[in-house]
Amino acid sequence: MVRLTVNGKTVEVPEGSTVLQAVRAAGVELPTLCHHDALTPYGACRLCMVAIEKPRRALVASCAYPVEEGMVVRTDDPEAVAARRLVLELLLSRCPQSDFIRELAAKEGVTQTRFGPPPPERAEELCVLCGLCVRVCREVIGAAAIGFIGRGMERKVGTPFDIQAEACVGCGACAEVCPTGAIKIEDRGDERILHTWNTVIKLRACAECGRFFAPEPLDFVQESFPELRELWELCPECRRKRTASQWLEVIRGA
Ligand code: SF4
Ligand code: FES
């Protein structure tokens, strides 16, 4: 274990932990955006900045910085607070339409930005380039169907050449993890339309009720794990119903 202090409170966290984990262990609230517990540290948004006072003075992104024995961390350091507020102003300037960003900023007392609104062609922008969708697709799903494209103001997330992503399995994990709701996915008939990725995936029907629900590219899971066959044959609702009736039978037979 490593012992350190966060805002004067002593905490112990396992060796290899990040400063963010220590901050959370101390029960101190700190905003994050590009961090997700299921993904490797990224350190891109700089919203989780804190000040390290010992062993050497530094402002660091806590989600990507390792703890050290005897470290002294302050989340309320004026420079760290100013750094976080600056990031929030930049985010507000990029995505003023995002409720999520506005609420995140307001929590830190930021309701205005010095950097002005986005240009008219980007007025509805919701993507803050946190990279969560790109990383969940690569690290958790193993598909790597989307990635960052372009530089500077032109930087965005998309599929290769902005066309149908052959690697996309239509799982929807990208939309699930996106904090701002920037990714639009719609199930229409036997198709899942991933509007944001210009991609359409065929869906399989539930064996019981006939509702289309399972992306066809995920059929390989059924072949690889035959014991999970029911999971892929029945939609979540029919699975729930079947489980409930199985339990009822067990209870009646007891
Ligand atoms: S689409 Fe969402 S998850 Fe992906 S980078 Fe943009 S804000 Fe982050
Ligand atoms: S949450 Fe730490 S840099 Fe984004």
CATH fold label, 1-124:
Ubiquitin-like (UB roll) (3.10.20)
Q: What is the mean pLDDT of residues 29-54?
A: 95
Sequence letter at residue 144: A
| Phi and psi torsions of 7, nearest 5° | 50, 40
As annotated, the residues of the chain forming the CATH 3.10.20.740 domain(s) are 1-124
Residue 115 has pLDDT above 80, yes or no: yes
Residue 106 has pLDDT above 90, yes or no: yes
At residue 254, the pLDDT reads 67
Q: What is the mean pLDDT of residues 19-45?
A: 95
Find, among 205, 192, 206, the residue nearest to 241 by Cα. 206
pLDDT tens digit string along 208-240? 999 998 888 887 777 777 777 777 788 889 988
At 246, the pLDDT band (50, 70, 90 cuts) reads: confident
At residue 114, the pLDDT reads 95
Atom 3 of ligand 1: nearest residue by CA position: 178
* Both tokens assigned to 159: 């599929």
* Both tokens assigned to 84: 């976080």
For ligand 2, pick from 30, 36, 48, 75 the residue to mutate: most ligand atoms within 8 Å of CB: 48
Residue 205 has pLDDT above 80, yes or no: yes
Q: What share of the chain is helix, strand, coil (3-state, %, to 5)?
A: 40, 20, 40
Counting from 1 in the atom list of ligand 2, the atom nearest the Cα of 46 is 3
Q: Is 137 in the pocket of ligand 1 (CB under 6 A)?
A: no
Find, among 222, 174, 221, 169, the residue nearest to 200 by Cα. 169
Q: What is the mean pLDDT of residues 168-196?
A: 95
Please count the residues of the chain: 254
Q: What is the mean pLDDT of residues 85-111?
A: 95
Q: Distance of alpha carbon 101 from its chain centroid, rounded?
A: 14
Q: What is the mean pLDDT of residues 23-48?
A: 95
